[in-house]
Structure 1
Amino acid sequence: MDGLKNALQVINGMVADGIIQKYAVVGAVAALNYIEPTVTQDLDVLVSFDDLQSGPSGLVTLEPLISYLRNRGYTEFENEGIVIEGWPVQFLPVANDLDAEGLKQAVEVEVELGSGSAPIKITVLTAEHLVATALKVGRPKDRERILRFIDEKAVDLKLLRDVLSRHNLLEAWSKLCAQTGLPDFDESTFERS
């Protein structure tokens, strides 16, 4: 886990050095903050491309980000990500309103990545935004992650319903519930809260 911790420290350095304004760890690594760990081999980081400079054509480019990492010796690419401290890191652009809201509401947490090492502060999506994003993406591993969030009671169902409602995902949620046996949202869901 030292490699992951070091990769996250590099990303925190990108914020400190003004390369990106804010980030949020997403996917399996973010889920570590809420549910029991799962195996993952990469690190996904949501960033707003509004933070990055435009090129001469007016198109937003990753060049400032890539240049920053290149100048620190990170030049290898693997699985759509740049390898930082042994971890392929994929920088994902804010692509929709759900991403934008998730990044804006992301929370700073301290995570311990290895026994005896000091915790590191990182920014992650809220549990509700992780579940909503997984629902929107809809891969089998995303559905499995959603079930784990619900099973481990790691998500506030009222907040989740609000996020899903704002982003037109209630129908997708109902379909998931029908396929998996999860209870759909109704008033009794919130009486237990």
Structure 2
Amino acid sequence: MEETLAVINKLEQDGLIGRYAIGGAVAATRYIEPIQTYDLDIFVLLPLSPLGLISISPIYAYLTQRGYTASGESIIIEGWPVQFLPVYNQLTEEALEQAIEVQFGITPTRVLVAEYLAAIMLETGRPKDHARLIQFFEFEAIDRTILENIVDRHGLKGNWESFRRRFLNEDD
């Protein structure tokens, strides 16, 4: 994965992408036990086109010119399927701003912090997100005060209360 991250860093250096951070299952493994995953989710700020639109097409063009191939929603970079996820709301934008700098081997990168990963999981609400979020609580990987602050600011209180009742056996 280090070679993959080096290519993504080059995309950032060359201005094809703005700030990025690792999200999804790969980011979760920083806080909980390793999980099987098939791709690397990259939350990214994309530059606006002259018409004010965002597009991942320039990224794919740049990478395919360098021999990388698309596969479904991902592009295979140094053996890893990478899915570029443009920030899509205030929550993901804030999560990207708050991402922490880490080293993967000798390669610098950024990872979303646990509380923002948790809030995004609450927002998406898929069964695999609920299962992963339960693990975050089992591993005491989350500061509840921080998470609840994020939940309140981003309109996820209903999702949070439902999750707490259903999976943490908590009442208000």
Q: TM-score normalized by structure 2?
A: 0.92
Among 133, 147, 158, the alignment partner of 2:120 is 133
Residue 121, structure 1, aligned to residue 140, structure 2: no
Among 11, 14, 17, the alignment partner of 2:14 is 17
Aligned to 1:29: 26
Among 41, 44, 56, the alignment partner of 1:62 is 56
Paired residue type of 1:130: L
Partners of 2:93 and 2:5 in 1: CA distance: 21
Which blocks of at least 5 consecutive residues in structure 1 are unaligned?
Answer: 112-117, 187-193
Residue 73, structure 1, aligned to residue 67, structure 2: yes
Which blocks of at least 5 consecutive residues in structure 2 are unaligned?
Answer: none
Partners of 2:106 and 2:117 in 1: CA distance: 22
Partners of 1:89 and 1:12 in 2: CA distance: 13
Partners of 1:133 and 1:58 in 2: CA distance: 26
Paired residue type of 1:103: L
Partners of 1:54 and 1:172 in 2: CA distance: 35
Report the identity percentage: 44
Paired residue type of 2:93: A
Q: TM-score normalized by structure 1?
A: 0.82
Partners of 2:160 and 2:91 in 1: CA distance: 15
Paired residue type of 1:9: A
Residue 107, structure 1, aligned to residue 107, structure 2: no
What is the Cα-based RMSD across aligned positions, in Å?
1.7
Partners of 2:19 and 2:52 in 1: CA distance: 22
Instruction: Map 1:91-102 to 2 at 5 A.
Output: 91-102=84-95
Aligned to 1:47: 44
Q: Which of the two has higher C-alpha Rg?
A: 1
Which whole-Å deviations, capped at 9, do the CAs of 1:119-171 have from their partners, x for residues lacking one?
A: 43211111000000011000111001111111101111111111111011122
Residue 38, structure 1, aligned to residue 35, structure 2: yes
Q: Is the 8 A contact 1:79 1:88 kept in 2?
A: no
Deviation at 1:65, TM superposition (A): 1.4
Paired residue type of 2:16: I
Which whole-Å deviations, capped at 9, do the CAs of 1:56-77 have from their partners, x for residues lacking one?
A: x543222321222122211x22
Paired residue type of 2:75: I
Q: Is the 8 A contact 1:53 1:64 kept in 2?
A: no
**Poorly superposed stretches of 4+, deviation over 6 Å:** none
Partners of 1:142 and 1:61 in 2: CA distance: 27
